[in-house]
Amino acid sequence: MSTQPQKRPHGGDEDGGPAAEATPVSGSAQAQKRAGELDSMLDEIDSVLESNAEEFVKGFVQKGGE
């Protein structure tokens, strides 16, 4: 049985390069970076969703299962 430790990057997965280590990042800069990462992820999600949300929701109708 192989168990994998849970990955908990918790904002710690900076680009890892030596440059990133050399310059200490202040708290607010880090928060800004996190907000930026969140923003770009939400943009990505936006771009993959069907553009007409209401139509998508209404269009998803099925009879019950089991």
Partner 1 sequence: MERRVFGVETEFGITHQGGEHRGLPPDELARYIFRPVLKWGRSSNVFIPNASRLYLDVGSHPEYATAECDDLLDLIASDRAGELIMHDLAQRAEAAMAEDGFDGSVYLLKNNVDSQGNSYGSHENYMIPRTTHFRRLSTILLPFLVTRQILVGAGRLVPATDETPAHYAFSQRADHMWEGISSATTRSRPIINTRDEPHADAALHRRLHVIVGDSNMSETTSLLRYGATDLVLRMVESGVPVGDFELENPIGAIRHISHDISGTATVKVRNGPEMTAVDIQSGLLDRARRFVRENGAHHDQVEQIFELWERTLQAVASGDHSSIERDIDWAIKKRLLTDVAERGGLRQGHPKLEQLDMAYHDVHPRRGVFNVLAAHGRVSTQLEPERIERAIVDPPSTTRAALRGRFLSTARALGAEHTVDWVHHKLVDRPLDALMLKDPLLAEDPRLDTLLAKLGDRVETLREQNLAQRREQAVPLALSERYTLASPREFAEPPLI
Q: Per-residue string for binding with partner 1, 1-40, x by CB under 8 A?
A: xxxx-xxxx---x-----------------------xxx-
Tally of CB atoms within 10 A around 12: 8
Q: How far apart are CA 55 and CA 49, in angstroms?
A: 12
* Residue among 2 and 23 whose Cβ is closer to partner 1: 2
Per the listing, tokens 């949300």 go with 53
* Residue among 17 and 59 whose Cβ is closer to partner 1: 59
Asked if 62 touches partner 1 (CB under 8 A), the answer is: yes
Q: How far apart are CA 43 and CA 32, in angstroms?
A: 16
Q: How far apart are CA 66 and CA 52, in angstroms?
A: 30
Binding-site ranges for partner 1 (CB under 8 A): 1-4, 6-9, 13, 37-39, 41-42, 44-45, 48-50, 53-66
